[in-house]
Structures are given as structure tokens and as C-alpha cells.
Amino acid sequence: MKKILIIIICGLFSLSVNANTSSRNDKMIACKTMATMSELIMSLRQSGLSHSEQLALKDSIYQGALKQNKKVAEGLRAYQSIMIKLAYNVPQYSDKEEQQQAILGFKTLFYIDCLERIQ
């Protein structure tokens, strides 16, 4: 179910990216921004931030993405809540190595799926 939701999110996001950006470079920036956002969301999840606290931080996360690319940030904003929900389906690990694996796995999943969809 989580994989299906991620595919749907990335698919919708890539449609938004394709509609709003024309160059390959812009599309790569969009995927990198999505990866950065997913990494931040999972990092906050692994650090112990509650689901409700993270939802309250959505605007700050959006502002961070906005600094990278305004067009891309607008596309990502719509998917933040879903990404946060998916992050909280992943266990919070106490072991630092497991935390890093969860963060990297979450980031990589979104990044690779985005790259596959923009080609």
C-alpha cells in the first residue's frame, strides 16, 4: 500500500513538474528537491518528532524547498502531508544506523521514482 501511494505521489508530482518545467535540468532539480524534502521529513520522524508536530512544520519545510526552486516548491507543497503520513508508517528506530538506513531508503525511493517518471 505504501509503495502504491508513493508511486501515485511521484506520478502526480512528475505530471506537475512536466507541466511546469521544460528543461531536463529543471526536472532534475525537481527530483533533487523532492529527495531533499523526503529526507528531511524522515529525519524528523526518526528524531522523534510527532506526526502532529511535523504537520505543524509543513510551512517551514515548504520555505526550505522554496529557497531551492519556486516552481518546484509549489508542486511539492501539495504532496507534503502525504509524504509525512507515509514517513509515519515507517518505524522509529533507536539504533542510529537503522535510522540512517530508513532516511536514505525513504529519500532514495522518492528520488528514483521521480527520475523514472520524468524521462
Say how far apart CA 56 and CA 63 lie, in whole Å: 13
Q: Residue-wise pLDDT tens for the chain (119 aa)? A: 445 444 444 544 544 444 444 577 877 887 888 898 899 999 999 999 999 988 888 877 677 767 766 766 676 676 788 889 999 999 999 999 999 999 999 999 999 988 888 77
What's the confidence (pLDDT) of residue 2? Answer: 47
Total structural domains in the chain?
1
What's the confidence (pLDDT) of residue 34? Answer: 83
What's the confidence (pLDDT) of residue 33? Answer: 81
What's the confidence (pLDDT) of residue 22? Answer: 58
What's the confidence (pLDDT) of residue 12? Answer: 45
Say how far apart CA 79 and CA 35 lie, in whole Å: 12
Q: For 5-31, give the DSSP string.
A: HHHHHHHHHHHHHHHH--SHHHHHHHH
Other C-beta atoms lying within 10 Å of the C-beta of residue 59: 11
What's the confidence (pLDDT) of residue 50? Answer: 93
Query: Would you put residue 48 in left (φ > 0), alpha (ψ -120 to 50) or beta?
Result: left
Range of the domain at 8: 2-118
What's the confidence (pLDDT) of residue 39? Answer: 93
Which residues does 31 contact at the CB level (< 8 Å), separation at least 6? Answer: 17, 111, 114, 115, 118
What's the confidence (pLDDT) of residue 1? Answer: 43
Residue 38 three-state SS: helix
What's the confidence (pLDDT) of residue 8? Answer: 44
Say how far apart CA 112 and CA 37 lie, in whole Å: 14
